[in-house]
Structure formats: structure tokens, C-alpha cells
Structure 1
């Protein structure tokens, strides 16, 4: 095993490593650059055309609004119907796993990269990463920062401007710095939004098909 493989293996295993030039030809950065500079005619195809070749996994009907930035790209896994507004940054030293129907607001930042707390060790240049997991049916508000090692459950809403430093359980609204659970999402929420949907259908004449829970 050469040095690059050794360091990449340690990085993905959340062990101390030194940064190495894992892509000397710059193929990953080229794909990101092409995505960010794509023409308007490629609006509906550029996510799959460029990032679909880079990510570890990309589900069906995914859309990311440029600009988008990442460190590797090859550690990013996104499920079906993923949407990210402009300015998404993913520092994917470890796996970033995102479920189905995840919506990200503008300028969301997902960080796997971290550094030793002790300054003497940190100043040697060694670093490490921790994976991030985001469940299904999650809406993350704009300008949210998701820190290394965090797991966000399914059916969660994260308020804009939050800094997520600890795990967030399923079916809650959470917000703040640091991000904390505000309340559970309940059947009252479903009832309220079903009424809003009924009004929409009655006013516009456009039926909406609901997926089963």
C-alpha cells in the first residue's frame, strides 16, 4: 500500500492522517468546475452530467443549484429527490450520507473535516475527519452548519442559521447555535398542512398526489 492509499484509508476511518494529493490530475475539481460553469441549457441535466460522475452515489431526480464546492466528492452519497439550493459546501473527508427527499436551503455547510484540540498536535499538520449522516424527509434551512460526526434523523426540520454540533433525533424541529430540539412534529402539523393543501387544490384546480408515509 502506497502512502496516498494509506492516508486515504486512515482519513475515511476517522483516524489521524496527513493530507495527500489523491487526485494529481484534478479530475474531481474539473467536474466541479464544469458543473459550476455549465450553461443555462444544461440546467436540468448538469447535476447528473457532472456530479453524478463524481459522487459515490446519486439517486434519481437530484438537483443542485450552483455554485457547489466539495473536497473530494467521492465520499458523498445522496438519495432520491435530493435538492440543494445555491452555495452548498461539503467537506467530505469521510462519508456524507443523505437520504431521500432531503431539501437543503442556500449556503448550507457540511463539514467532516476537523483538527486536534491540542495546539501542539494540531500544528504538526495532522488532521482527521468524522462522517455525517442525514436521514429521509429532512429540510435544512439556509446558512446552517453541520459539524463533523453529526447524525440528523428522518422527518426533521432544521431552522435557518443553525449550527448543528450534536445528533438530532427523528421527527423534530430544531434550531439555534448550538442547534437544539424545539419540539416534536405531530399530527397537528400534518392536519394543518393538509388543510393548506386542500385550499391550494380548490383555488388552483391542480390536484396534488401525496406519497404514503
Structure 2
């Protein structure tokens, strides 16, 4: 595929993350994150203005505890009443959609990028990004890791510390590494 590395990333194609345009987008995100993480809670509210402006879409009643981290921010969409506890990280090189009334425990990590398996290409920064979609009314326990390309259905529960490598059906409960179903609706 031809085009800029940002265009390739957005199209879900292999791209080089070591790119001046992507570097600047990550720097912009770091500035917004810094503002969010250092503002006193009564001044920050649910989400610092710079971080709110960075995200692709965010409802008015979202609450993101500090500290928080993301790669770009511009690929993050948060529905109504989404709550992200302290220490959450979203590496959003692809779209990340989190549905209304979903809660993430402390230290939850969402990773969209997959680095190339060939070490020489990995050294060059070659990676591919796949979206993560989390439905409505989902609870993700502290320290869980959600990997690239995963969809978590409405009403699902992800246990603390789980590593989610595959889609989770609506209403299912998953635990462990790799996450496996232990209950459902």
C-alpha cells in the first residue's frame, strides 16, 4: 500500500511507527495526557479539557482517573458514563471503542498494535494495528490486558489480571491467561 505511514496505520495495513508525523501525533497526545495527569482533581473534573479534545469522541459524563496513558488519543471513542480507573493505558494505533456504562478497573491495558515477527522488520518499526471494541455494560477487572483485534460483547465481565486474546461473547465471564469462559448469562 502506498501513502503516508499514518494513512497505512488508519487502513489497517503494515506501517512504520518510526515516522515524523506519527512522532508528532504521539507528542501531542503526551502533552494532553500530562495536563490530565497533573491537574488537581477538582479542576480536572472527569476529563481534562486537552484530553477531551484529543479523543475522537467522548460523552459528557465520562470519568478517567489519573494517571492515564494513550498513544494517540485520536482513535479513542468513549460512550456515556464510561469509567476508567487509575493507571489505564490505551495504545490506540487503531480505533478503540468503549460502550456506555462500561467500567475498567485500575491498570487495565488495551493494545492495538502488533509488531512484526521478523526481527529486522521489527527494528525498523514495522507494525500493524487492529481495532478493539468493548460493548456496553462491560466490567473489566484490574490489571486485565486486552489484545489487538478483540471485541468484548455487551454485559461481559473480564476478570482481574485476565489476558484477552480472543473475542468475548455478550454476557460471558472470562478469566485467566489466556482468558477463558467460566460463566455466562
User: Fold-level match, TM-score > 0.5?
Assistant: yes
Provide the rounded CA distance (Å) in 2 between the counterparts of 1:54 and 1:64. 13
Q: TM-score, normalization: structure 2?
A: 0.91
8 A Cα contact 1:48 1:62, kept in partner: no
SS class of match (1:52): helix
Select the residue among 6, 9, 25 that pairs with 2:7. Answer: 9
8 A Cα contact 2:142 2:161, kept in partner: yes
Task: Give unmatched runs, 5+ long, in structure 2.
Answer: none
8 A Cα contact 2:136 2:154, kept in partner: yes
SS class of match (2:34): helix
Q: TM-score, normalization: structure 1?
A: 0.80
Provide the rounded CA distance (Å) in 2 between the counterparts of 1:107 and 1:83. 13
CA change 1:123–1:28 in 2 (3 A) is: closer
Provide the rounded CA distance (Å) in 2 between the counterparts of 1:156 and 1:123. 37
1:49, CA displacement in angstroms?
1.8
8 A Cα contact 1:59 1:79, kept in partner: yes
Equivalent in the alignment of 1:132: 132
SS class of match (1:168): coil
Provide the rounded CA distance (Å) in 2 between the counterparts of 1:125 and 1:84. 29
CA change 1:52–1:43 in 2 (3 A) is: closer
Task: Give unmatched runs, 5+ long, in structure 1.
Answer: 186-213
State the Cα deviation string for residues 21-70 of structure 1 (Å, max 9, x = none).
Answer: 3263843321111000001321425x052321110000131000000011
8 A Cα contact 2:130 2:149, kept in partner: yes
Provide the rounded CA distance (Å) in 2 between the counterparts of 1:101 and 1:77. 13
Q: Which runs of 4+ in 1 moved over 4 A?
A: none
8 A Cα contact 2:39 2:48, kept in partner: no
Equivalent in the alignment of 1:211: none
Provide the rounded CA distance (Å) in 1 between the counterparts of 2:60 and 2:42. 20
- Within a 5 Å distance, the mapping from 1:106-121 to structure 2 comes to 106-121=106-121
Provide the rounded CA distance (Å) in 2 between the counterparts of 1:181 and 1:133. 18
CA RMSD after TM alignment:
1.8
Provide the rounded CA distance (Å) in 1 between the counterparts of 2:147 and 2:165. 5
1:160, CA displacement in angstroms?
0.2
Kindly indicate whether residue 148 of structure 2 is the aligned counterpart of residue 148 of structure 1.
yes
